[in-house]
Structure 1
Amino acid sequence: MFEALILIIEDDPEIVDILRGYLEREGFRTVSASDGQTGLVFHQQLKPDLILLDVKMPFLDGYGVLAALRRTSDTPVMMLTALAEDLDKLQALRIGADDYVVKPFNPLEVVARARAILRRSQGAKTEKSLRIGRLTVDPVSYTAVVDESSGARPLDLTRTEFRLLSHMARHPNRVFERSELVDACLPEGDALDRAVDSHVSNLRRKLTAVGLGEMLTGVRGVGYRLNGQ
């Protein structure tokens, strides 16, 4: 993990210098881009292990960069931005961010969160597919498919919905508290416990559409459970 390459997409050179100094001191390799379009080119050319992404940038903002990345890549992304509202955080999560840090930030916290993201990312690459009844979840390819008479039908899930599904699929029938799901699947927010309900509701709706709505149930006053079959 200490040889991981981190791409910093940030238009403030002072912030870039601070991040580069702290990250390289901890053994990471870094490269930087000062606008979103250049960042996308560097991502395609260099295949970084993690991206630190600003939101307000020239040519293409961070949300546009993130959306473009998620059309072709699962590279982990940590948003670094002065936008502190919950709606901004939720928008980043829906598009596919892995973490969300508000400026001004503590560089040591950024390094710690980068390590955590890379640890989860590397762990996922070694996991085997998880199968529960007609549902198969593949943490490596970020895909979930349902067996039907006509063949395998993929589920169109957001990144956060997939994280929730795969996390619960590792332990069928276990009840997960909301706070645990936040820590495991939405590590970027301290005040986003209620966001779990929204993501789970959307996930259950998509499971219902393929006849598996009964798999995901709520446990009153506690959290959620993915029922094994």
Structure 2
Amino acid sequence: MNTETGRVLVVDDDETVRDVVRRYLERDGHQVRLVGDGETALRLATEWKPDLVVLDLMLPGVDGLEVCRRLRERDSIPVVMLTALGEEADRVLGLRVGADDYVVKPFSPRELALRVTSVLRRARTAPAPQPAEVLTDGTLRLDTGARRAVLGDAELALTTREFELLEFLLRNPKQAFSRAELLSRVWGWEFGDQSTVTVHVRRLREKVEADPANPCRISTVWGVGYRYDPAE
């Protein structure tokens, strides 16, 4: 199976944008379907089963955030979100509900096509296998074979990416990593918006830190990025 091409559903209420995106994606070998509203997008996602969705945030009726949330309830289909310039809060919300990446309007169609290829490749290519083991840090236990994380007596509800990020940090304690390095090592992306990492670190802190505002495990290294500090 080609890891770089697939069935792509493009959801945008602007017909011109849809057509331009379609031409660039088809040029790269993708099969493309176009829709202009959220309800139709959700129906077609069920019927056609795309490999990836390019999703505009601002849609008539059901907006892009709600579409992304409902898609994530069904399965782990990759989503690349389109957002308006300057709407940082909306982009962060998109990442929080499960978008894999986003592109800011007005955007380069070529850049979007490259993002689609990168996200598809990552979704289909298994990471280098690590030995199954139980990683521990104080009362935090991560069973990499069973894909379970437990803090004290409570099991943590981690997304796939949160689990992978926490596993990487536990395997590499006391080392500072930039957001670009984490994007490459955990996400497998050589380019992409680094705020993706910021959002996932924030979400992870909310689940593993006693006080997320003053983290002890996942520390910020100013001017560099993040470091995992094991409990003494």
Same fold? TM cut 0.5: yes
d(CA) in 2 for partners of 1:125 and 1:105?
30
d(CA) in 1 for partners of 2:62 and 2:16?
20
User: Larger helix proportion, structure 1 or 2?
Assistant: 1
d(CA) in 2 for partners of 1:15 and 1:129?
45
Gaps of 5+ in 1: none
Residues 114 and 144 (structure 1), Cα distance of their counterparts in 2 relative to 1, 3 Å cut:
farther
d(CA) in 1 for partners of 2:128 and 2:9?
23
Equivalent position of 1:37 in the other structure: 39
Equivalent position of 2:9 in the other structure: 7
Equivalent position of 1:113 in the other structure: 115
Q: TM-score, normalised by structure 2?
A: 0.76
Partner-residue secondary structure (3-state), 1:168: helix
Equivalent position of 2:193 in the other structure: 189
Matched, 1:204 2:205: yes
d(CA) in 1 for partners of 2:47 and 2:128?
25
Partner-residue secondary structure (3-state), 1:204: helix
Partner-residue secondary structure (3-state), 2:125: helix
Q: CA deviation at 1:179?
A: 3.9
Equivalent position of 2:169 in the other structure: 168
Equivalent position of 2:23 in the other structure: 21
Equivalent position of 2:143 in the other structure: 136
d(CA) in 1 for partners of 2:4 and 2:223?
41
Residue type at the aligned position of 1:8: V
Residues 146 and 78 (structure 1), Cα distance of their counterparts in 2 relative to 1, 3 Å cut:
same
Matches within 5 A, 1:21-170: 21-124=23-126, 131=133, 132-133=135-136, 134-137=141-144, 144-146=148-150, 154-157=155-158, 161-162=162-163, 164-169=165-170
Residues 30 and 144 (structure 1), Cα distance of their counterparts in 2 relative to 1, 3 Å cut:
farther
Residues 60 and 188 (structure 1), Cα distance of their counterparts in 2 relative to 1, 3 Å cut:
farther
CA contact under 8 A between 2:85 and 2:106: conserved in structure 1?
Answer: no
CA contact under 8 A between 1:175 and 1:225: conserved in structure 2?
Answer: yes
Partner-residue secondary structure (3-state), 2:70: helix
Q: Could you give the per-residue CA deviations for residues 63-119 of structure 1, whole angstroms, max 9, x where no partner exists?
A: 110111122221110111325322121111111111111111111000111111111
Q: Could you give the per-residue CA deviations for residues 20-75 of structure 1, whole angstroms, max 9, x where no partner exists?
A: 11111111111122211111111122221111001111221101101111222211
Count matched residues.
Answer: 216
Q: TM-score, normalised by structure 1?
A: 0.76
Gaps of 5+ in 2: none
Q: Could you give the per-residue CA deviations for residues 176-220 of structure 1, whole angstroms, max 9, x where no partner exists?
A: 223423565596536x49x72x643542342246xxx86545556
